[in-house]
Structures are given as C-alpha cells and as structure tokens.
Amino acid sequence: MKTYISLSGFDSSQILSLIVKYGIEGGDRIILIRPDEEKDMRGELTVQAIRDLSRQIDSSINLQIHRVNHRDFEGMVLSLKGLLENAEGQVVANLSGGPREIFLAFTIACISLTNRIFKTTNYSDIDRCLSDIVLPNIAAVLEEKQKQILKDIFDNQPTNIGDIAERLCVSESTISRQVARLADLKALHLVPKGKTKEIRITLTGKLLL
C-alpha cells in the first residue's frame, strides 16, 4: 500500500505525474494538503480533478484533504509531522506546489522524519518534470569519533575502510562499525567495488560536519 502526500495548488500536473511515475491501485491513499480557508476556487477544481481521476482508476482509492492553518506556522509543522507519522504503507511525499508558507512547513516536517518517507519528489516549474530528491537527515546526533571519520572521508573521498583506518590509526573493525552506523543515518553512500566498498559522503554527512 502507498500513501501519496502532496501539496496542492492550482495545477494538477505534478500530482498526475506522481501517480503515473509510481503507479496507484485500489487501497492506496492520496492526501492533498490545503489551507483551511479556500479563497480561490481553482484549488477546489484541482482537488476535484484528482478525485475524478482516482475514481476512474479504482473506486477504492482513498482521497483525503488535510487542512492546515496557514497563519499558524508552528501548528502547521506539527500537524504535518503528525500526518507523516500516522500515514500507512510506503509514504511518497511531494515537495512542490501549494502556497509558499505551507510548502515551507511541509518541507520542515519531511526533513524531521526522513526515515519515515519512502520517496520524496519535486516537480520543477522550470522544465515541468518530476524528480526524486534525497532529503538530508539533519536530526541525527553524532559522536565525536563519527564526526572525525566523516571529516576524513570528506577530505579523501572516494575512500575505503582500510584507508580510513590507516589514516586515523584505528582498527578496521572499529571503522567498519562506525561506517555502517553512518550509512544507516544516510550520512554515507557505500558502493561495492570488488572486495571492498567505495565510500563517499552524502549531503546529510556534509550538513552534520
């Protein structure tokens, strides 16, 4: 089961692209984020277009509207964080469209729960194309040893466990454990290269340094 959570503005293209790219079937859920006060009927027309499409595909697709108070920034962030926490199945979050103040609140909520989200997407207003993006896991707290390893990788990438251990004068088993933990935090990207793994730092890792 998938739950699509998307901001909703006056253009249904981004949401249609999302459905086409990842597919949708009976039992899946679409949650559109809208302000609690509708002052422009174009927003309602977009919602209706998505509702009509979902019914044509399968009547069991559940379309919901999650409304937030755009005047209460803190309330929006917490409401959207709760929405993500309670979403069922694989969560696909679309960071595009909708009012700017709601976009910012939703982005912050997503960054605070990167491990809860299966895919994050962004629809470009420039080339009208939907792309996958990787959100940084900036909520992680690192030990000093982990920061030292990250700094070494940043300065010497691409690298491997043996070379890191030699530079830092630490056993390979210790480096291997720490690298695995950093990879779980999305701070490192590991690519198999023969009998070793090529290690590079990610955006998350750079932000945590």
Please give, one letter per residue, the 3-state secondary structure of the chain.
CEEEEEECCCCCHHHHHHHHHHCCCCCCEEEEEEECCCCCHHHHHHHHHHHHHHHHHCCCCEEEEEEECCCCHHHHHHHHHHHHHHCCCEEEEECCCCCHHHHHHHHHHHHCCHHHCCEEEEECCCCCCEEEECCCCCCCCCCHHHHHHHHHHHHHCCECHHHHHHHHCCCHHHHHHHHHHHHHCCCEEEEEECCEEEEEECHHHHHHC
Confidence band for 46, pLDDT divided at 50, 70 and 90: confident
pLDDT digits (tens, 9 = 90+) for 68-111: 999 999 999 999 999 999 999 999 999 988 888 999 999 999 99
Average of per-residue pLDDT values in the chain: 91
CATH number listed for the domain at residues 144-208: 1.10.10.10
CATH number of this structure's domain 2-133, picked from the four choices 3.40.50.170, 3.40.50.11700, 3.30.300.90, 3.30.420.40 = 3.40.50.11700
pLDDT digits (tens, 9 = 90+) for 128-169: 888 999 888 887 788 899 999 999 999 999 999 999 999 999
Confidence (pLDDT) at 128: 82
Return the domain boundaries, the chain.
2-133, 144-208
Confidence (pLDDT) at 79: 95
Confidence (pLDDT) at 195: 85
